[in-house]
Structure 1
């Protein structure tokens, strides 16, 4: 357990930040899952709409430091390629 005032504050900040980041990651996963379900159904219009909704969420995750920017770029590229293949 933290013994110094600054370490106690750091601990509180880490707890809050972890909670926010977990929520962000969960939100991103939900959006990506919607895209994958639309791709699996074979409906290109729904997949494209879901992709356009997921894209800003993924980008925001990279901007906030939850995901690496290359990871986001790779995920978006692969999803887009799968939509184009429909």
Structure 2
């Protein structure tokens, strides 16, 4: 269906630009997340820390622009922060697990 109205053509052009920008940002978020998780698997604290700072900024910016929900961004940042904290402490178990009482 060909667009005939001038404002419809303009809106279509704008939506294509926004779609391209949004796809790029979401793709870069996924790439940065994968890089962070690889650094965590390798237990490379310094690399993971530097990637984490950029990742937090990218998630916050995407949430403020409406690309992802702010609670989704917060959830992802919290999970990655916990993983970074665990490897920086040198433990492999999450801190939330407690010992079961002996009966």
Check whether TM > 0.5: yes
Aligned length: 86
Corresponding residue number in structure 2 for 1:21: 22
Q: CA RMSD in A?
A: 1.2
Higher alpha-carbon Rg: 2
Aligned counterparts of 2:55 and 2:74: Cα–Cα separation in 1: 12
The alignment status of 1:9 with 2:37, answered yes or no, reads no
Aligned counterparts of 1:58 and 1:30: Cα–Cα separation in 2: 12
Structure 2, gaps ≥5 residues long: 88-103
More helix by share: 1
Higher relative contact order by CA 8 Å / sep ≥ 6: 1 or 2?
1
Q: What TM-score results when the alignment is normalised by the length of structure 1?
A: 0.89
Q: What TM-score results when the alignment is normalised by the length of structure 2?
A: 0.76
Aligned counterparts of 2:5 and 2:44: Cα–Cα separation in 1: 57
Aligned counterparts of 1:19 and 1:10: Cα–Cα separation in 2: 14
Aligned counterparts of 2:20 and 2:46: Cα–Cα separation in 1: 34
